[in-house]
């Protein structure tokens, strides 16, 4: 997902339960890969967590919130995933829906810098 271009010719990308298992730089690379595709829309799972916690090893897990630092994405629509069959109580899992034309305007360098600060647990990083 983060290392090779996505197949071309699709209107919609649906990414469910992937990014919360990746370290921050791989999350950024995956999001950039989605933005570079020729798709028109993307729906990506995220969580309504108050803060993001770094994943210390590949394959770990965190309730990743793409609307919080270091990602700070602004989706076009937020949908709640309602899965009462699998979860006994309400989940905090969300679907973030993006028009890729807006995702393509993200400041990816700033996100990468934020990711570096976030992953290294630096409390204060100099921004350009």
pLDDT at 71: 95
Count CB-CB contacts under 10 A for residue 11: 9
Selection from 72, 60, 59 nearest residue 118 by Cα: 72
102, 75 contact by CB (below 8 A): no
Average pLDDT by consecutive 10-residue portion of the chain (128 residues)? 83 94 93 95 94 84 92 94 56 90 94 80 46
pLDDT at 57: 83
Give me the torsion for CA of 74, 80, 86, 92, rounded to 10°. 60
Enter the tokens of residue 42. Answer: 């993307």
pLDDT at 51: 87
User: What are the domain boundaries of the chain?
Assistant: 12-110
pLDDT at 83: 55
């Amino acid at each position: 997902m983060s290392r090779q271009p996505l197949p071309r010719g699709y209107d919609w990308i649906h990414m469910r339960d992937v990014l919360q298992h990746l370290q921050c730089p791989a999350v950024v690379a995956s999001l950039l890969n989605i933005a570079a595709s020729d798709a028109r829309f993307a729906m990506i799972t995220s969580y309504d967590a108050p803060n993001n916690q770094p994943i210390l090893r590949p394959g770990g897990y965190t309730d990743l919130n793409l609307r919080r630092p270091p990602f700070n994405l602004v989706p076009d629509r937020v949908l709640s995933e309602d899965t009462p069959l699998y979860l006994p109580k309400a989940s905090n899992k969300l679907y973030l829906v993006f028009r890729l034309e807006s995702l393509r305007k993200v400041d990816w360098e700033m996100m990468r810098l934020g990711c570096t600060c976030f992953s290294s647990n630096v409390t204060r990083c100099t921004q350009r």
